[in-house]
Amino acid sequence: MSYDHLFSEAKLGDLTLPHRIIMAPLTRSRSAQPGDVPQDLNVTYYQQRSTAALIISEATQISPQGKGYAYTPGIHSNEQIQGWKKITDAVHQRGSKIFLQLWHVGRVSHSSLQPDGVLPVAPSAIAPEGQAFTEEGFKDFEIPRALETNEISGIVEQYKIAAINAKTAGFDGVEVHAANGYLLDQFLKDGTNKRTDEYGGSLENRVRLTIEVIKAVSEVWSGDRVGIRLSPTGTFNSMSDSDPQSLFNHLVEKLNAFNLAYIHVVERFGDVNDESFDFALLRQRFNGAYIANGGYTGESAEKSLGDNQSDFIAFGTPFISNPDLPLRLKKGAKLNDADPNTFYGGNEEGYTDYPSLEQELRPA
C-alpha cells in the first residue's frame, strides 16, 4: 500500500516534520530509584525510537504530589532534569524532536506514593474504581481529598515550574496531559467534578483549571510549542461526563486563544469507540493541528489523513515493539508483536531488546 499522506512533510506549530507519524506517550515504569530519575536504559529506548517525526514522552509527574504509579519519571528535581537532558540530546542526535508530557494524576494515586503518606488530591472526594500500582504491589484506590479553592493556584504553579524544567532539559515543547482520568480530566468531567466553587458546575467553571494551566505553560513556551491531550469519551479510571460534546467543543474554542500547536485526541481505548461523539466537529472547532490517537494501523492512518480527518497520527503500542515503526510501515514489513507482560517495570527485556528491521535482515 502507498502511504503518500502518512509520509508527507507537515507543519506542527512552528516545527516542520518529515512525516506524520508521532510516537504517543507510553508509561513504561522504568525510572531509576530512588528519585524517579530517567536513566541510561531510558536513553537507549528513546534513541531507538527517534524514527518518529515527533516523540511525546511518557507521562511525567510535575511534582511529588502528581505521582500515581511506581517507577514513573518526574521533572521536578535537578537529577530528573539532568536525566532527561541525556534523553533529549540522544533524540536530537538522531534528528527527531521530543515533547515532554506534563502529568498530575490527581486521585489516581495512593497515599503510599504521596509525600508524607497523605491522601491524593482531586476536585471532589470520589474514589476511582480499581487499584494503584505501588512499590509494594497493587493497592485499592482511596477516597481522595478534595482540593481547597485556595490550593488550586499552587497546582497551576507546579505545571509552570515543570514547563520551565522541560525547557532546561532540552525538550522541543510540552504536552499538557488532560486526558485518561488524571487531574485535569477530573476537573473537566462532571462525573468526577462535584464542586460548587468557581471550578465546578458550569462548562466555563469546569474548563477553568485546564485553561489556567495552558495559560501558565504558554508563558514559558510559545503556544506553537505546546499541545494538549484530551480523551472526550474516555472511561478509563472511572471517568464519565453527561455531555462530552458540549464540554470539549467549549474547551477547544477556549484553547484557540493560545495558538497551540495541536490537540492530541484519544478517540478510543482498545476496541471501544463511542460513535455518538463527533470528533470531526471537534477538529473543525480547533485552529491548530489535530493528532488522532486510538488503535490506528498504517492503512487506517493513511485513510484518516487522506480523508482530512486528522493532521498527524499517534501510534502507541506498535512503537513499543517496533522501534523503527515508520520504516516498517513504509516498506510494508511485518510488525513485531508487543508483549504485554513487559509493558510496565523491569529491565531491558520488552523495552530495548525489540529488533529493528535492519537487525532482522542482517545475515546470521
Beta bridge partners of 176: 102, 228
Task: Give the Cα separation of 244 and 190 in Å (integer).
Answer: 9
Strands (E), the chain: 10-12, 15-17, 21-23, 54-61, 97-103, 121-122, 131-134, 137-140, 145-146, 173-178, 226-230, 262-266, 289-293, 312-315
The answer as to whether 176 is a domain residue is: yes
Q: How are the residues of the chain apportioned to helix, strand and coil, as percentages rounded to the nearest 5?
A: 35, 20, 45
Q: Work out the average pLDDT over 192-218.
A: 98
- Cell numbers standing for residue 71: 517507577
What percent of the chain shows pLDDT beyond 90?
95
Beta bridge partners of 139: 132
| Structural domain containing residue 178 | 10-361
Task: Give the Cα separation of 172 and 151 in Å (integer).
Answer: 30
Amino acid at 7: F
pLDDT of 270 reads: 58
Neighbours of 353 (CB within 10 A): 11
pLDDT of 363 reads: 66
**331: Cα within 13 Å, side-chain hemisphere:** 12
Q: How far apart are the first and last CA of the chain?
A: 30
Overall number of domains in the chain = 1
pLDDT of 160 reads: 98
Amino acid at 99: F
The bridge status of strand 10-12 relative to strand 15-17 is antiparallel
The bridge status of strand 312-315 relative to strand 289-293 is parallel
> By the 8 A CB rule, do 268 and 180 touch?
no
The answer as to whether 342 is a domain residue is: yes
Average pLDDT, the chain: 96
The answer as to whether 108 is a domain residue is: yes
The answer as to whether 61 is a domain residue is: yes
The answer as to whether 2 is a domain residue is: no
Alpha helices by DSSP H, listed for 20-151, are 40-48, 78-93
Catalytic residues: 182
Beta bridge partners of 140: 131
CATH code, 140? 3.20.20.70
The answer as to whether 4 is a domain residue is: no
Q: What is the 3-state secondary structure (H, E, C) of 132-155?
A: EEECCEEEECCCCEECCHHHHHHH
* Count of all residues that appear for the chain in the document: 364
The answer as to whether 3 is a domain residue is: no
Task: Give the Cα separation of 249 and 157 in Å (integer).
Answer: 26
* pLDDT tens track for 27-40: 999 999 999 999 99
pLDDT of 97 reads: 98
pLDDT band of residue 358 (cuts 50, 70, 90) is confident
The answer as to whether 1 is a domain residue is: no
Matching residue, cell 495512593: 110
* pLDDT tens track for 262-274: 999 999 875 555 5
